[in-house]
Amino acid sequence: MPRIRHLVSVDDLSISEIQELFNKAKDFSKDLRSWSHLCPGRISASLFYEASTRTRLSFESSMQRLGGGVLTAAEMRTSSAAKGESLADTVRVVSGAYADLIVLRHPSEGAARLAAEFSQVPVINAGDGSHEHPTQTLCDLYTLWIEKGELEGLDVVLAGDLRYSRTIHSFIYALARFCANIVCVPHRGLELPDYVLRRLREEYGAEPVRADASELGEISRESDAVYLTPAKPHQLSLFTDSRRLRVDRVDAVYMTRPQTERHGESDEIESYFQLGQNAMSAKPLREAIVMHPLPRRDEISADLDDDPRSLYFKQAARGVPIRMAILAHLLGCLELQASPPDVRTRLFPIEVGHNPCPNSSCITNTEKRHQRLAFKLTSRDPLRAACGYCSQEIPIRLVGCSTTRHYHPRDSASARRIRPDHLVFFRDEAQATALGFSATR
Ligand code: NCD
């Protein structure tokens, strides 16, 4: 039987698959009504534990345009989740005989990865907390590709709530894979999380440099913009190689709303920046397209709506042909020439009974009954690991070996010698001892 393909992260598709899906989407968009022969009799289930307009409706429209049917659980409060059913059990049931594919939106980071482990059918991540939103990224990349004619080496400004926007996180990993130069202009206090920056550096070779973005005019009001440049710059890169980081011309400005539903008490959002005609008149932005995953609040002023550079409504419309291509591909109804990606980072199960993930909104902490724990090793020296579900760094002071039952300081040579599948992480000695590990003499 062919392996089930899931779309939990943008990394689940290879660059050549993405390009081929874009070509298919372009074909679909010529006449959305003439593809109902592609997936007749297939059913997708929308399991939405969080609010959605565009993502759910465009998935459901896409499935119907492909000739299939949809099951909608858009308000999971009215489902058995309200009776305390776990995500794992819901997924086991829905993937059993009800649906051929699951589209999942969930407030916990890593939820889609957990769902994929329990599902008998493909799972598409339609947003997991502030972690990732890969299909929005495919709409975003598709828009860039249509408008700019290519994806390699573009110069893109990302603005707004970079901390909690899952659309930003998925988009930035994909932009890094396409060797983009990325200028981050966060609202103060809503900068890219450290774990995203670390992942960009360690997994995608993007180098973050703090820089002055004053050339960008009003948009760079916040002084601490961060530039991410490919370690091996693309030849078309517009950044000067001397790292003086002058931005001469930007291809796109991607704006995001404050993700207030995920903000903590310390995340103040007074005077959130508004992008308008004034900001877009700065010289480097004159030819830039304006993008937004929507919904918008006040961060893009209505005076930009009729500007030909504003593409956010087109970007939302393009969600349909793109999602048609994704659905048909994962359902095995499209023959693609491209190969799937190589496995980038292996996940190792955590066997010992404690969860080292510090993220309280990670699915491994919010759903304890069917807990699966896993980590990926992000660096061997110094030894660093990230949660296999939410990608956040696991704080390590001591490292144990599950076969010798000994523990060692993280930076010791003995710790580095432990096989990854034998590694156990501890906060402190008390935790190690409680789990039956002893120090080596
Ligand atoms: C985004 C989301 O849900 O993360 N919306 C969407 O899917 N288009 C962005 C947002 O809510 O701000």
Distance from residue 108's CA to the centre of ligand 1 (Å): 15
- Residue where one domain finishes, among candidates 330, 361, 394: 330
* Rounded Cα distance, 32 and 50, in Å: 28
Which of 32-41, 138-147, 424-433 is predicted with the least confidence, judged by mean pLDDT? Answer: 424-433
Q: In sequence order, what are the beta bridge partners of 376?
A: 386
Query: Within a domain: residue 19?
Result: yes
* Rounded Cα distance, 63 and 39, in Å: 8
* Rounded Cα distance, 69 and 39, in Å: 9
Mind listing the pLDDT tens digit for each residue in 372-395? 889 999 888 888 999 999 999 998
Please say whether the beta carbons of 25 and 142 come within 8 A. yes
Query: Within a domain: residue 339?
Result: no
Distance from residue 257's CA to the centre of ligand 1 (Å): 9
Residue 106 falls in the annotated catalytic set = no
Instruction: Give the domain range for residue 256.
Output: 135-315
Reference 398, options 388, 387, 407, 386; nearest CA is 407
Query: Within a domain: residue 219?
Result: yes
Query: Within a domain: residue 4?
Result: no
CA 148 remoteness from chain centre: 23
Q: In sequence order, what are the beta bridge partners of 125?
A: 104
Residues having CB closer than 6 A to ligand 1 are 54-55, 127, 133, 136, 166-167, 256-257, 293-295
> Of 5, 54, 92, 188, which one is the catalytic site residue?
54
- 235 with 202, same domain: the answer is yes
- 308 with 359, same domain: the answer is no
Mind listing the pLDDT tens digit for each residue in 145-202? 999 999 988 989 999 999 999 999 999 999 999 988 888 888 888 989 999 988 888 8
Residue 105 falls in the annotated catalytic set = yes
Residue 201 falls in the annotated catalytic set = no
pTM: 0.94
- 57 with 113, same domain: the answer is yes
Q: What phi and psi values does residue 14 have, to the nearest 5 degrees?
A: -80, 160
Contacts for 437 with CB less than 8 Å, ≥ 6 apart: 400, 405, 406, 407, 424, 426
- Residue where one domain finishes, among candidates 315, 339, 362: 315
Query: Within a domain: residue 410?
Result: yes
Interstrand relation of 155-160 and 374-379 (parallel, antiparallel or unpaired): unpaired
Please say whether the beta carbons of 323 and 32 come within 8 A. no
Please say whether the beta carbons of 103 and 44 come within 8 A. yes
- 100 with 148, same domain: the answer is no
Domain count, the chain: 3
The residue assigned the tokens 């949809």 is: 70
